Copies of this chain bind each other. A is one copy, B any other.
Amino acid sequence: MGGIPAVSDLIRVSEIFGPTIQGEGALIGQPTVFVRTGGCDYRCSWCDSLHAVDAEHRHGWAPMSPEAVMAEVARCAGERPIMVTLSGGNPAIQPLGPLIAAGHARGYRFAMETQGSVARDWFGDLDMLVLSPKPPSSGMEVDWAAFDACLAAGQGAETVLKIVVFDAADYDWAREVAGRYPDLPLYLQPGNHTPPPPADDSAAVDHEGIDARMRWLVGRVVADGWYRATVLPQLHVTLWGNRRGV
């Protein structure tokens, strides 16, 4: 307080944008401002946010104090309290507790999505914690002890499970994972197999292919009588393709 913040208090920010609507998951359609942090402990094969993941884009990640992030969020939102979506990269590797506290004091709410690889004690301060373990097609391997630690840390936050499904193997895996967490609300999402190269967000999206995957996923879910699952597309991809900042 007063003076230069310690480096450990700074948040590495890839982008802050909005308001727009949340395009996916439990809060789909809700107005939100996004805070996308830079850096990730994963490197999923189909990552759609490589500009916030690959270390070579690190020069674009600004170290910002929680106060500076909150000021920019409030500016975007016209100083009206809104849902803030913390995304990445993996936002869990950033020190976000003070930002959440500062936002709550001003009436803002916070939802965060993370793969569940790193647990933090401030998860419980979130309004919504979206745990999104990565399926086999990602090329990543889930550390379930770490995942369960995230779940435990999130006590106090509304917690939901979101699984991206690219193919039949992912689908079978999602069935198994969801079975382990019978009490969590469950969201399934077809993947975007045409994610943008990190340097070119104007790259074309295969809308028809994405819609076909969505129809396939709905078909599988209803054929299996898996009525617990909510199946949702990425609306922002339908509406804006791979374009950033919307």
Is A184 at the interface (CB under 8 A from chain B)? no
Query: In the bound complex, how far is the Cα of B235 from the Cα of A211, in angstroms?
Result: 10
Is A83 at the interface (CB under 8 A from chain B)? yes
Tell me the minimal C-beta distance from A192 to chain B in angstroms: 15
Closest Cβ neighbor of A83 among chain B residues? B227
Copies of this chain, whole number: 2
In the complex the two chains form, is A21's CB within 8 Å of B83's CB? no
Tell me the minimal C-beta distance from A164 to chain B in angstroms: 14
> Cβ of A214: which chain B residues have Cβ within 8 Å of it?
239
Binding stretch for chain B, among A5-13, A28-36, A172-180: A28-36
Binding stretch for chain B, among A95-103, A114-122, A150-158, A218-226: A218-226
Query: In the bound complex, how far is the Cα of B4 from the Cα of A167, in angstroms?
Result: 51
Is A182 at the interface (CB under 8 A from chain B)? no
Is A232 at the interface (CB under 8 A from chain B)? yes
In the complex the two chains form, is B227's CB within 8 Å of A81's CB? yes
Query: In the bound complex, how far is the Cα of B244 from the Cα of A101, in angstroms?
Result: 49
